[in-house]
Amino acid sequence: MIELIPAIDLIEGKCVRLSQGDYDTKKVYGDPVEMARKMEQVGVNRLHLVDLDGAKSRHVVNEKVLREICRATSLGVDFGGGIKTQDDLDKVFDAGAAMATAGSIAVTSPATVYSWIETYGAERIILGADVREGKISINGWKEDSAVELMPFLEDFIQRGISNILCTDISKDGMLQGPNIGLYRNIMQRFPKCHLIASGGVSCEEDIHALEEAGIPAVVFGKAIYEGRIDLEKLIVKS
């Protein structure tokens, strides 16, 4: 069964969603701690928590919310957004995160992430690959790098990374279905990786399609908040 990972995105301590990473499209859905509690109550055991303030400002901002969620629930939280330095990573792990997502920093300073893999183990570091037209975008998707997706993944896989969170920016928050072709290509190239598909999930059928394509895990959020996916029913079915 595909691993189901609900997402909570944070701006100013609130649970929000954007469309295609555009901060001007922000829609607020309420208190993230209460949202996390409700997710745990229906059987969720894993949470993807994204600090959008941190991604934009290039340092972790919402570690207080992370800490509160980790205290209020027993969810295994992976945290991403704004992790640029050792101090940022220490804050995230000290606040209770089980895993941390290295995104922009893996592009701008890969040696830093290599050292984190050696220090903490590859199982605690998720490689974040946010893709626009085949290349990696960074800093809250505000900048497009020249780094191409497949060589980027190969480099880190060779260094022990197996957890890869790949977001198709063009699909994110649009509720128009995920880019299954992209994820299938990644799995064909790197069949042993634990790929987490992100972006575009609009309904249960999208999740089933990802599972049929052999994708190990999926992150989704907006479809929950917009009432398109009943999380409790989905968990029961799984």
Per-run averaged pLDDT (10 residues), the chain, 238 residues: 96 93 91 98 97 93 98 98 96 98 96 97 97 89 89 98 96 91 98 97 97 98 95 92
24 a catalytic residue: no
94 a catalytic residue: no
What is the Cα–Cα distance from 151 to 148, expressed in whole angstroms?
Answer: 6
Q: Residue 233's pLDDT is what?
A: 94
Q: Residue 139's pLDDT is what?
A: 77
Domain 3-237 carries which CATH code? 3.20.20.70
What is the Cα–Cα distance from 209 to 77, expressed in whole angstroms?
Answer: 25
- The string of pLDDT tens digits covering residues 129-153 is 999 999 999 877 777 899 999 999 9
Residue owning tokens 């969810």 = 75
| The two structure tokens encoding residue 26 | 């922000």
Provide the b/e sequence for 191-209 (b: ≥16 CB within 10 Å). Answer: eebbbbbbbbbbeeebbee
DSSP 191: T
At residue 151, what is the residue type?
P
Q: Which of 78, 130, 172, 206 is catalytic?
A: 130
Strand partners, 165: 128, 196
Element counts in the chain: helices (H) and strands (E) = 11, 12
Q: Residue 40's pLDDT is what?
A: 98
Contact 102, 127 (CB under 8 A): yes
Q: Residue 172's pLDDT is what?
A: 84
Task: Return the domain boundaries, the chain.
Answer: 3-237
Q: Residue 143's pLDDT is what?
A: 79
What is the Cα–Cα distance from 106 to 110, expressed in whole angstroms?
Answer: 4
Q: Residue 211's pLDDT is what?
A: 98
